[in-house]
Amino acid sequence: GLFGRGGRAVRVGILGGSFDPPHAGHLRMARLAMAQLGLDRVLFVPCSSQPLKGAQPSASPFHRSAMLALAVSGRSGWVLDFRELDRGGPSYTAETLESLRAQSPRDLFFLIMGSDSLESFGQWRRSQDILALSDLAVVPREGGGGPPPRLVGGRVHTLKAKPLAVSSTAIRSLLVRRQSIAGLVPKAVMVYIERQKLYAAPRGRRERRPI
């Protein structure tokens, strides 16, 4: 429908990322944004590839989607959106927002990102179009101390929260060293990573295990 309860516009958070793997930091961002901005929904949008990141995601789109489904399942209002994977190629947020806008002309959009992402926002393709399509909801992140770019006409909501030092990169490197990631990802995601043997060191470089 066009309107949520009480006749007000539906407020939709959009959380894009590699989710390689999804972790507690991502889920906390969604919780913070929902609570502080009164969102009705959060869309989790796994990217195909991120233009500003040097490396391609390590896990396949299939595994990243499966992990994300496990991570968000059971939360009302949290939904997966696969349009960037369907589109393929570099994932440009402006295109994603335009396609969402075409589907939902009246919803209010809040693009949820870490403060590290905000720092590079000036380099995003068509960043001014992004600001015309959505507000930004920024979650403080450790090391994100640089000055935010000048945002002409954009509305930026800085969410109140202590930085939580968790990243997919740190989780992948713990897994390569066969160290525990307990507490950093939801239990179901941890089990999935173990069963599917994701992010393990290549054969031969792995430590020998007793038979």
Interface residues with ligand ATP (CB under 6 A) are: 17-20, 25-26, 29, 113-114, 116-117, 139, 141, 164, 166-169
Q: Of 95 and 139, which has the nearer Cβ to ligand ATP?
A: 139
Residue (27 or 95) nearer to ligand ATP, CB: 27
Interacting residues of 16 by C-beta distance below 8 A, sequence separation 6+: 45, 46, 47, 84, 91, 93, 96, 111, 113
Residue number of the CB closest to ligand ATP reads 114
CA distance 177 to 173: 6
Q: 98 or 116: whose CB is closer to ligand ATP?
A: 116
At its nearest, how many Å lie between ligand ATP and the CB of residue 138?
A: 9
Smallest separation (angstroms) from ligand ATP to the CB of 96: 13
Encode burial over 114-138: b for 16+ CB neighbours within 10 A, e otherwise: bbbbbbebeebeebebbbebbbbbb
Residue nearer to ligand ATP on the CB measure, 32 or 95:
32
